[in-house]
């Protein structure tokens, strides 16, 4: 998993995209 600097709302958006693709969501949500 890459580390990146982003604004909070941008990060949230990325997580939603990841969730939609079914990737990493479990690890991120924990």
1-30 pLDDT, tens digit per residue, is 566 665 666 666 666 666 666 665 566 556
- Please give the pLDDT value at position 29: 53
Give the pLDDT of residue 17: 65
Contact yes or no for 4/10 (Cβ under 8 A):
no
Give the other-Cβ count within 10 Å of 19's Cβ.
14
**Model-level pTM?**
0.20
Nearest to 28 by CA among 10, 15, 17: 15
> What are the residue boundaries of the structural domains of the chain, listed by start?
1-30
């Amino acid at each position: 998993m890459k580390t990146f600097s982003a604004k909070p709302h941008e990060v949230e958006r990325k997580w939603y995209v990841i969730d939609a693709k079914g990737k990493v969501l479990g690890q991120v949500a924990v």
